[in-house]
Structure 1
Amino acid sequence: MCSRYYFVLALILILFSEIVIASDTERYELGVGDKVSIRVFGQPDLEVEALLGNSGLVNYPFLGEVKLVGLTVKQVENLISVGLKDGYLVAPNVYAQVIEYRPFYIHGEVKKPGAYPYQPGMTISQAVALAGGMTERASENKIYLSQEKSKSQEALAGVNTNVNAGDTIKIEQRLF
């Protein structure tokens, strides 16, 4: 009976985490450094893979330059679909996805500071693990997060704080 309870509880937690990650990816806004793929069902000539540069523009067949930075994947699908309906295709079935997210950055008292690939749902704890863990001088109470999206100053954060693509994490030294 007890093991069945834990099994059901674990299943609920797994399903809940999938829902949270799915909602994160639905709200994710494309930015400079993201690599995207756009496909139209049955139209291989309209498949495009592009790395978003500083302009945020992608040259798309028939539509020319399309600005994708700041849009969600759903908004990209709608934009391309509406553009293709305007004299090119009757009912285009457009699918867009992020192939590679722009990196987040971590520096300070971690073993391997630098830029790392972002994954939806990532926390500071997971980011620190990617950077090889904290050094022996690291302070677990002085972790700062600068969010790219809000262009805000560094804010004190905990190890369970969510990290977004483009964010910068700084781990300070602790006083002995």
Structure 2
Amino acid sequence: MSRIVCIALFIFAVAAQAQEPQQEYTLNAGDAVRIHVYGEPDLTFDKMLIGQNGRISYPFLGELRVAGGTAADLQDKLVDGLQPDYLISPRVSVSIVKYRPFFVNGEVKRPGGVDFQPGLTLRKAISLAGGFTERANKKEFLVISDDDPESREREARLDYRVQPGDIITVRDTFF
């Protein structure tokens, strides 16, 4: 019996941890969300892209600013907007279906934009960009975070957790 309880607690902890990034993740232009309003197929969208202006266009509610908020914030905004004028008690769920890309430049074989995947480290991001070139400095990396308003370059290590919108530069070496 205690074994079953331990397994159930473990599964619950893993599931809660897996959902945490979406709750904390800040939406921005280029992300895509799935909006499901239970029992309302006309208000349900499998993939809605957040525009460059940080907004989505939603039936009855018009243009909604969603950049800077979380999926939970968008869910609350939709419930508040649909209730009471359009639906009595709307049940809405919002999930992220596509994250905005990050970018790798410098001494990698395939520089450019790469689709973000939760849990990516700098090491994995470089692999997705084709790996190091022969001239790459394998110890010095710079990152500009999308959420840094001053766009400062900062040094990073291979275990750095990549975020959507990051710009990663792999420096070259002189030898």
* TM-score where L is the length of structure 2: 0.86
Shift of 1:75: 0.7
Aligned partner (choices 15, 24, 36) of residue 21 of structure 2:
24
Q: What is the rounded CA distance, in whole Å, between the counterparts of 1:80 and 1:164 in structure 2?
A: 26
Separation (CA, whole Å) in 1 of partners of 2:167 and 2:173: 19
Distance 1:19 1:92 in 2: 24
Task: Could you tell me which runs of 5 or more consecutive residues in structure 1 were left unpaired when the two chains were aligned.
Answer: 1-11
Question: Match for residue 162 of structure 2?
Answer: 163
Residues 24 and 121, structure 1, Cα contact 8 Å, conserved in 2: no
The count of aligned residue pairs is: 164
Deviation at 1:21, TM superposition (A): 4.7
Alignment of 1:106-145 (within 5 A): 106-145=104-143
The counterpart of 2:86, out of the listed 80, 85, 88, is 88
8 Å CA contact 1:20–1:121 kept in 2: the answer is no
Structural mapping, 1:69-80, within 5 Å: 69-80=67-78
Aligned-pair Cα RMSD in Å: 2.0
| 1:132–1:18 CA distance, 2 compared to 1 (3 A) | farther
Give the Cα–Cα distance (whole angstroms) in 1 for the partners of residues 161 and 109 of structure 2: 21
> Contact 2:22–2:96 at 8 Å: present in 1 too?
no
Distance 1:133 1:158 in 2: 15
- Matched residues, percent identical? 37
Q: Judging changes above 3 Å, is the alpha-carbon distance between structure 1 residues 20 and 141 closer, same or farther for their aligned structure 2 residues?
A: farther
Cα deviation, 1:99-144, whole Å, max 9, x if unaligned, reads 2111000011111111000011211111011011111221122100
Contact 2:99/2:116 (8 A) holds in 1: yes
Does structure 1 retain, via aligned residues, the 8 Å contact 2:122–2:159? yes
Name the residue aligned to 2:4.
none
Unaligned runs of 5+ in 2: 1-9
- 1:25 counterpart letter in structure 2: Q
CA distance in 2 between counterparts of 1:21 and 1:164 reads: 16
- Give yes or no for the alignment of 1:97 onto 2:92: no
TM-score, normalized by length of structure 1? 0.85
Whole-angstrom CA distance in 2 between matches of 1:161 and 1:115: 18
Amino acid in structure 1 at the alignment position of 2:120: M
